[in-house]
Structure 1
């Protein structure tokens, strides 16, 4: 009697190796974007285009009504991009992942759910000990976007905002020199037969580079001062032209400031910016000259600088106009929002792909550099030293 033929081949009937499918577990993000304080901050973390990219990948975005208005993005722009709009501030703050530009206030921390994740600026020098204690009580995981490093070890958020601040400083100076703003009536532009505007830039970092580029583009005569020869060499290379450069020698700086129409301070320090321009130097400047102290966020590098606001941006000392508004990029909130959004979006999509923040922190050193609070445990040495708080090394907590 013939046996029925088997539907399987001889090879298929032999024991086979077990083939397991190995996939990263994709996670769904639920992002809350609350409204910022309009008096301090007009930027928003995600543009409608960024929201569209995030929601298209299966994530949810809940935005407080009017959160994008400061940057000229309407509620309709966001709903069309796939976001949900809510008038309930508490509901937005109860999302598992909160995105903010300004750090949350103590009152806002109270609205957060325990174990929530907050990504915002830290602004370490404007905080208080209570801020970190409140985050710890709620076991919050917090990331400061200005401390996130990219693959090259640079700080992309700081660089983007420094580019904006550098360009803004020259545009602001040009406005302040117009007689409609009670200025000295000089104009950037290198008009034929008219001597160019003289600009002194103190600091050859990103702000200094972009201020130089803008001033040169408008036909100004630019002099750059910095104590780092490497930075001065770098700025010449990046600008692709020869500009006057000098180390911060008081005699040379004094001579340049006496002749200049605009002085831009863009020098950073570790704890605060060094004061490199004394009151006497300012006193010897031309009447009607303009000082833009971009370093005011870190204390200012002109001895005569005093913090001003966007509503009352200038003061006058020794006949010299001083502009010392902290957070210059928020003057152009739409451009600044697009810039911040470009940094946030790839990280958020990556968080979703890798199944949440825990995995991303494990494998992304640059992101881990921005972490300062992990499930309520302080992980930043800088914060610990500044506020005399106990901190733990994140590498011992996460692996």
Structure 2
């Protein structure tokens, strides 16, 4: 199969979808790998590294797309890339379609077979391709919050961990999944007073166990969230509903109760955001201030630590890329139901229920599609 890796064009998106080591593995399996010139530069992977691994460097993005049978990316395509796709191409990347109707319609119109990293789901409910970037984003969220609490950056002037005799900052993490646990781990390590809120008792028991009671756990409901947010110096929004638009759990009314110079970080912004009033920002201009509270809502947070993120992503995606390339999408999905759950768009129709419901559209059953392929 001809596999193409474009250079990402989202603001400050320095990740790349494949490492040189991953390229070598795919090349040895008999596949042709096309890498757009300088695609790996932001992750510290040179064109020479890819050449040594057996890839062909392509200077022109249109040529890259024209020749590709499968395109692997990191972030969702931007509008200037829509016309580059052609019918029956496989697109394998983070899509987050529930928050992007224009992209959804473009992929439907083009007849692309669009497989989303974030909806590949194992039998136990885990999201193996979302996990590594959730780990990165969760950890980064606290680094960002700590930085923007500093007075020169507009914050309240609090040191996250305090010092002896001075209380630490109060960090409230909403959502006890991968993002939330990783945010809590870093906040606790920096000495903050940490609370995690979630709707599942089992999640809170697990968190209480692994952190040995060092992190407070509180049931997430509107009244409890309002109370905790009003007392917080930092709020991390870490809510995820696989494939769906994130619900607004922190309202603007709650934000107004926070102290001036406090910080909120909306890690769910690429799924529409779970903090009301946030909108996607960039690494060039990562924050805005509203009601005296600093809002950090960069939609591609892991791009800031691109080298770590690129290697972590390839570690997770490579086995699925190998299956798609070796067998084609039909056989690969028939043999691996977790991969089949990643199918979002196929032949102009939506196969992810959460995406369809976001736009009030009809969706097709992946189970019926798989039966038709047998």
Given the two structures, how large is their TM-score scaled by the length of structure 2? Answer: 0.87
**CA-to-aligned-CA distance 1:161-184 (integer Å, 9 cap, x gap):** 211111111000111122342333
Give me the whole-angstrom Cα distance separating, in 1, the residues matched to 2:309 and 2:293: 29
User: Alpha-carbon deviation of 1:256?
Assistant: 3.3
User: Alpha-carbon deviation of 1:153?
Assistant: 3.6
Greater mean deviation of Cα atoms: 300-309 or 43-52: 300-309
Alignment partner, residue 296 of structure 2 = 323
User: Alpha-carbon deviation of 1:253?
Assistant: 3.9
Contact 2:194 2:215 in 1 (8 A): yes
Select the residue among 47, 50, 60 that pairs with 2:19: 47
Aligned length: 367
Alignment partner, residue 340 of structure 1 = 313
Alignment partner, residue 134 of structure 1 = 109
Alignment partner, residue 117 of structure 1 = 90
The verdict on how the C-alpha distance between 1:142 and 1:104 changes in structure 2, with shifts beyond 3 A counting, is same
Select the residue among 146, 149, 155 that pairs with 2:127: 155
Does residue 33 in structure 1 map to residue 5 in structure 2? yes
Give me the whole-angstrom Cα distance separating, in 1, the residues matched to 2:78 and 2:230: 44
User: Alpha-carbon deviation of 1:382?
Assistant: 4.3
SS in 2 for 1:200: strand
Greater mean deviation of Cα atoms: 64-73 or 242-251: 242-251
Alignment partner, residue 56 of structure 1 = 28
Give me the whole-angstrom Cα distance separating, in 1, the residues matched to 2:72 and 2:347: 17
Does residue 364 in structure 1 map to residue 336 in structure 2? yes
Does residue 300 in structure 1 map to residue 279 in structure 2? no
Alignment partner, residue 397 of structure 1 = 372
SS in 2 for 1:172: helix
User: Equivalences for 1:255-274 in 2 at 5 Å?
Assistant: 255-269=227-241, 271-274=244-247
User: Equivalences for 1:378-389 in 2 at 5 Å?
Assistant: 378-385=350-357, 386=359, 388=361
Give me the whole-angstrom Cα distance separating, in 1, the residues matched to 2:79 and 2:141: 33
Does residue 100 in structure 1 map to residue 39 in structure 2? no
Contact 2:96 2:270 in 1 (8 A): no
User: Alpha-carbon deviation of 1:252?
Assistant: 4.4
Contact 1:38 1:70 in 2 (8 A): no
Select the residue among 140, 143, 148 that pairs with 2:115: 143
Give me the whole-angstrom Cα distance separating, in 2, the residues matched to 1:281 and 1:106: 35
SS in 2 for 1:156: coil
User: Equivalences for 1:51-90 in 2 at 5 Å?
Assistant: 51-90=23-62
SS in 2 for 1:194: coil
Give me the whole-angstrom Cα distance separating, in 2, the residues matched to 1:249 and 1:224: 12
User: Equivalences for 1:201-280 in 2 at 5 Å?
Assistant: 201-249=173-221, 252-269=224-241, 271-280=244-253
User: Equivalences for 1:163-178 in 2 at 5 Å?
Assistant: 163-178=135-150
Give me the whole-angstrom Cα distance separating, in 2, the residues matched to 1:275 and 1:141: 31
User: Alpha-carbon deviation of 1:46?
Assistant: 0.5
Give me the whole-angstrom Cα distance separating, in 1, the residues matched to 2:227 and 2:330: 55
Greater mean deviation of Cα atoms: 189-198 or 211-220: 189-198
**CA-to-aligned-CA distance 1:367-399 (integer Å, 9 cap, x gap):** 111123445665444445536356463123211
User: Alpha-carbon deviation of 1:150?
Assistant: 3.2
The verdict on how the C-alpha distance between 1:198 and 1:369 changes in structure 2, with shifts beyond 3 A counting, is same
**CA-to-aligned-CA distance 1:209-245 (integer Å, 9 cap, x gap):** 1111110111111112222222212222333444211
Alignment partner, residue 18 of structure 1 = none
Give me the whole-angstrom Cα distance separating, in 2, the residues matched to 1:210 and 1:135: 38
In structure 2, the gaps of 5 or more residues are none
User: Alpha-carbon deviation of 1:335?
Assistant: 2.0
